[in-house]
């Protein structure tokens, strides 16, 4: 069990760009962390890094397409830490292309990670948070889920579903003192973005430089800037923000 005064946060996709930035920010703020990601070695490495720096973290590696893993994760975290104050559904999957270029696997895996996993995790976490008198949940949706862009049918569809889910949840569970919001970033400088460019045969640096020119602020977001907004939404300073979709775009419209 963690100390009674220390808040506990579950972060999925914790070893990716935004997830890692958020975990480090939370650790610096003194939160205890449940590190959830698909790779056992990656989660254990991040846990070791946090603990060596004086923080408190434990590994909860697993596959978000595994329904049993999602259903059981909140209670596993509760059993080890004694509480859950924050859940951040940060993990995400991008499949690009028009509908005629996509496969059944593209659709099913994207729905499983981007929609079903958050659904199951929230469903399992809410009773735990309610008994404790409240909590905060943040889902990572996307600007592309609010204003769909071209040639990302499945991604836009799943992120729109997550945005709608967030607004419904925010309304339905506010009376339980559980605040549920979503961040909706545009392009973010993460390993996932760079890998996507490589898959399409593009040079990541050149591609990012071109993206920078399309943003009114002059550059795409850094992972730490998204983490800052998530950390704010889960803090006491955001105590009246509930059911909101917070766009983080640098002023850039998707369409």
- pLDDT tops 90 at residue 254: no
Instruction: Tell me the pLDDT band of 38, cut-offs 50, 70 and 90.
Output: very high
Q: Catalytic one among 69, 155, 240, 255? A: 155
Q: Mean of the pLDDT values across residues 195-202?
A: 85
Residue 191 confidence (pLDDT): 84
Residue 2 confidence (pLDDT): 62
Give the bridge partners for 152, in sequence order.
97
d(CA 204, CA 221): 15
d(CA 189, CA 175): 37
69 in catalytic set: no
Structure tokens at 33: 């962390």
Note the pTM of the prediction, 2 decimals: 0.95
- pLDDT tops 90 at residue 196: no
CA distance to 97, 117, 227, per residue, from 102 (Å): 6, 21, 31
End-to-end Cα spacing for the chain: 48
Structure tokens at 84: 């859950």
Residue 54 Ramachandran class (φ > 0 left, ψ -120 to 50 alpha, else beta): left
Instruction: Tell me the pLDDT band of 190, cut-offs 50, 70 and 90.
Output: confident
């Amino acid at each position: 069990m963690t100390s009674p005064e220390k808040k506990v946060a579950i972060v999925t996709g914790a070893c990716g760009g935004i997830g890692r930035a958020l975990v480090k920010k939370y650790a610096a703020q003194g939160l205890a962390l449940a590190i959830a990601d698909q790779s056992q070695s990656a989660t254990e490495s991040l846990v070791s890094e946090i603990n060596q720096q004086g923080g408190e973290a434990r590994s909860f590696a697993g596959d978000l397409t595994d329904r049993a893993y999602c259903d059981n994760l909140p209670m596993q975290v509760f059993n080890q830490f004694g509480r859950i104050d924050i859940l951040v559904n940060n993990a995400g999957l991008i499949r690009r292309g028009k509908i005629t270029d996509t496969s059944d696997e593209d659709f099913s895996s994207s729905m499983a990670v981007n929609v079903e996993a958050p659904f199951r995790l929230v469903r399992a976490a809410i009773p735990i948070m309610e008994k404790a008198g409240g909590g905060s949940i943040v889902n990572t949706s996307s600007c592309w889920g609010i204003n769909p862009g071209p040639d990302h049918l499945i991604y836009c569809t799943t992120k729109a579903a997550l945005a709608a889910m967030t607004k419904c949840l925010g309304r339905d569970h506010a009376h339980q003192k559980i605040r549920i919001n979503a961040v909706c970033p545009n392009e973010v400088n993460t390993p996932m973005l760079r890998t996507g460019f490589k898959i399409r045969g593009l040079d990541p640096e050149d591609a990012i430089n071109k993206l920078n020119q399309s943003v009114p602020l002059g550059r795409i977001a850094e992972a730490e800037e998204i983490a800052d907004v998530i950390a704010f939404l889960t803090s006491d300073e955001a105590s009246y923000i509930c059911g909101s979709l917070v766009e983080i775009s640098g002023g850039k419209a998707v369409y």
